Amino acid sequence: MTDIVHIISGLGGGGAENTLAQLAPRLAKNGMSQTVISLTGDGVIAGRLEAEGIPVVRLDFRSVRSRASNFIRLLSHIHSMRPKFLQGWMYHGDLAATAAHMLAPGKKNRQLVWGIRCSNMDIERNGKLVRWGAIFSNIPDAVVANSEVGVNVHTLHGYRPRRLEVISNGVNLDHFRPDSRERARLRQKFGLSDDAVVAIHTARVDPMKDHQTLLIATESVRGLNLVLVGQGTREFLASYPNVCGKVQALGRREDIASLLTVGDIIVSSSAYGEGFSNALAEGMAAGLVPVATDVGDSEKIMGDTGILIPPNDPSALAHALTQLVSIPHDDLRRRGLLARKRIKDEFDIKRMTDRFVDLYIDLSKIQM
């Protein structure tokens, strides 16, 4: 028997996947056995989970022809594992978990939990999934959202869960932290002087992340160096020759914690769709001053440690970055340490883990 089976769209390097990679091993250490089922095969997070002793089942729903056989495999896995909880992650994971919960044997001894991971989503891209989610939203025993804004948006779109919990993502402060030696080593490698002011943006290229606004804003900010990290950033930068001298694009990387030590400022330029921005919180944990658009729970994450700006506004972003570039370096560092303290006080990984443990224990009492 497995205590919790997580069903997730895939195991690429996104925010939800990274949160699961941190949460599952910690739940296991709390005495709750875990298995993760990926609906789209392998991914970089699968290896991380298995290295922590978490079994990973790789299904593949991408091919229309194999969906029926993969769904039968999903039901078979759930029947054999007999989990106490099915935990869905994101829209596809939630809906797949619901279908499996309704059809797999043992439903009376099992509970269903959904996970909402975004806020003002692009309805053109996700509208059908959101509508199906709203229709079935009263089936789960609980729905967990990682942001207050996500709750509001999904309620507006018809979600009516029986029980709703907001559990913010947590950050591993031992992993994301300032490191002066690593900072010096990487600055030398990237040709950045000790006194250069460096902003970092970590996100795949996607309309949601709005790299375009960021690069337009950067053109007018004197004295700023920008480092872009994420899939597609090298190709995207090539279309902005005016900023190539002050911007470096590193593409997809797995050493995010090390790269963050290079920076002074963490930027989140998202236009929509964020729930709880892991990139923003991880940058703050590394001691970087945050600048973020007012999307998702950015304001809640930053508190009064950074600068909040409207989305899709290059002028506002340029003004915020110019403000920080003009601050003496020692003051910028002090502000960065206050940002780290904010994450330590409010969004430590242990706090998130404890909230999930408490939820599962409480649901278990109700089941009894």
pLDDT digits (tens, 9 = 90+) for 55-83: 999 999 998 889 999 999 999 999 999 99
How close are the terminal C-alpha atoms of the chain, in Å? 17
Please, which pLDDT band fits residue 132 given cuts at 50, 70 and 90?
very high
Percent of the chain with pLDDT over 90: 89
Please tell me the predicted confidence (pLDDT) of residue 126.
Answer: 77
Alpha helix (H) ranges present in 270-313? 278-285, 298-302
Question: Quick one: pLDDT at residue 6?
Answer: 98
Confidence of residue 121 (pLDDT cuts 50, 70, 90): low
Sign of CA dihedral 340, 49, 180, 327: negative
- pLDDT band of 209, cuts 50, 70, 90: very high
Side-chain-side CA neighbours of residue 232 (13 Å):
10
Alpha carbons 182 and 190: distance in angstroms, whole number: 12
How many residues does this entry show for the chain? 368
Which two structure tokens, joined as six digits, stand for 281? Answer: 């919180």
Q: What is the per-residue pLDDT for 368?
A: 60
> What is residue 288's DSSP assignment?
P
The first and second tokens of residue 318, run together, are 């340029």
pLDDT of residue 117: 85
pLDDT tops 60 at residue 123: no
Residue whose C-alpha is closest to residue 10's, from 38, 50, 34? 38
H or E segment at 99? helix 90-103
Look up residue 259 and give its amino acid: L
5-58 confidence digits (pLDDT tens): 999 999 988 889 999 999 999 999 999 999 999 999 999 999 999 999 999 999
pLDDT digits (tens, 9 = 90+) for 96-116: 999 999 999 999 999 999 999
**Average pLDDT of every residue of the chain:** 94
Question: Per-residue confidence at 124, pLDDT binned at 50, 70, 90?
Answer: low
Arithmetic mean of pLDDT, 115-140: 84
